[in-house]
């Protein structure tokens, strides 16, 4: 998918991610890269290594809890992520790529209008498989976190059913 390429090209410009790859290995950099589109709307990720791996890279069951812990330690040491106060989740450090992610904006009227416009343009049908079965999602083709200028651009949205939406995010599905 072309979408994946956008993710990696943008992040490769971040010198901290390059350091992460050099000092902690490619897996650490890969994990970080995929944590961005897989974070929750409030930009948090599970603190439990096994849960995190399942959410972010479900295809990498060859990696152990220790591999994930080592990658997370590297991200924290390089100032890419921080633990949240209660210690159960991680979030992206201030000044990193997710700085502009704004939960309030995502729930605001502009977002709701954008979502409604995307669904209407697609006749309330999944653009990938044609299903009209709810719930339907207005999916950002270029990720919300990395393309602030395209957040409310209708041409950057596509209507997807639950299954196709999961597949687009790499959450498994089909
Ligand atoms: Zn579908």
Going from the Cα of 77 to the center of ligand 1, the distance in angstroms, rounded, reads 40
**Residue 6 banded pLDDT, cuts 50, 70, 90:** very low
CB contact at 8 A, 42 and 24: no
Q: In this structure, which residues have their CB less than 5 angstroms from ion ligand 1?
A: 126, 128-129, 131, 161, 164
Question: What pLDDT sits at residue 33?
Answer: 86
Which residue, among 142, 32, 46, 122, has the nearest Cα to 79 in the 3D structure? 32
Q: What is the pLDDT of residue 165?
A: 84
Find the range with the poorest average confidence among 100-104, 107-111, 151-155. 100-104
C-alpha 8 to ligand 1 mean position (Å): 25
Amino acid 130: pLDDT: 96
pLDDT in tens, 9-68: 444 446 888 899 999 999 999 999 888 878 776 677 888 888 899 888 888 889 999 999
Ligand 1 mean position, distance from CA 99 (Å): 31
131 CA from centroid of ligand 1 (Å): 5
CA of 62 to the centre of ligand 1 (A): 29
Q: How remote is the CA of residue 152 from the centroid of ligand 1, in Å?
A: 22
Tell me the CA–centroid distance for residue 159 and ligand 1, in Å: 8
Tell me how far CA of residue 96 lies from CA of 11, 52, 107, 122, 141, in angstroms: 10, 19, 22, 34, 21
Residues 32 and 57: beta-carbon distance below 8 Å: no
Q: pLDDT tens for residues 104-139?
A: 566 678 888 999 999 999 999 999 999 999 888 898
Beta strands in the chain, from DSSP E residues, in sequence order: 44-46, 81-83, 89-92, 136-140, 157-161
Q: Which two tokens stand for residue 37?
A: 């589109």
pLDDT band (50, 70, 90) for residue 102: low
User: How many A from CA of 172 to the centre of ligand 1?
Assistant: 14
The number of beta carbons lying within 10 Å of the beta carbon of residue 112 is 12
Tokens of 16: 């901290």
Query: What is the structure's pLDDT at 96?
Result: 66
Interaxial angle between packed helices 49-56 and 65-77, expressed in degrees from 0 to 180 and rounded to the nearest 10: 90
Query: Which domains are delineated in the chain?
Result: 9-92 (1.10.10.10), 102-168 (no CATH)
Rounded to the nearest whole angstrom, what is the distance from the C-alpha of residue 66 to the centroid of ligand 1?
A: 36
Report the DSSP beta bridge partners of residue 137: 160
């Amino acid at each position: 998918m072309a979408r994946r390429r956008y993710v990696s090209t943008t992040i490769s410009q971040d010198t901290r991610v390059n350091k992460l790859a050099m000092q902690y290995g490619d897996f650490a950099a890969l994990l970080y890269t995929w944590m961005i589109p897989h974070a929750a709307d409030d930009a948090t990720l599970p603190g439990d290594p096994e849960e995190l791996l399942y959410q972010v890279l479900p295809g990498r069951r060859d990696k152990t809890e220790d591999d994930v812990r080592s990658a997370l330690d590297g991200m924290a040491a390089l100032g890419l992520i921080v633990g949240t106060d209660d210690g159960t989740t991680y979030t992206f450090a201030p000044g990193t790529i997710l700085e502009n992610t704004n939960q309030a904006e995502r729930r605001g009227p502009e977002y709701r209008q954008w979502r409604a416009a995307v669904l209407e343009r697609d006749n309330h049908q999944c653009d990938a498989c044609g299903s009209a079965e709810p719930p339907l999602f207005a999916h950002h083709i270029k990720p919300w976190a990395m393309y602030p200028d395209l957040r409310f651009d209708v041409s950057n949205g596509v209507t997807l059913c639950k299954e196709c939406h999961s597949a687009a995010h790499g959450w498994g599905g089909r």
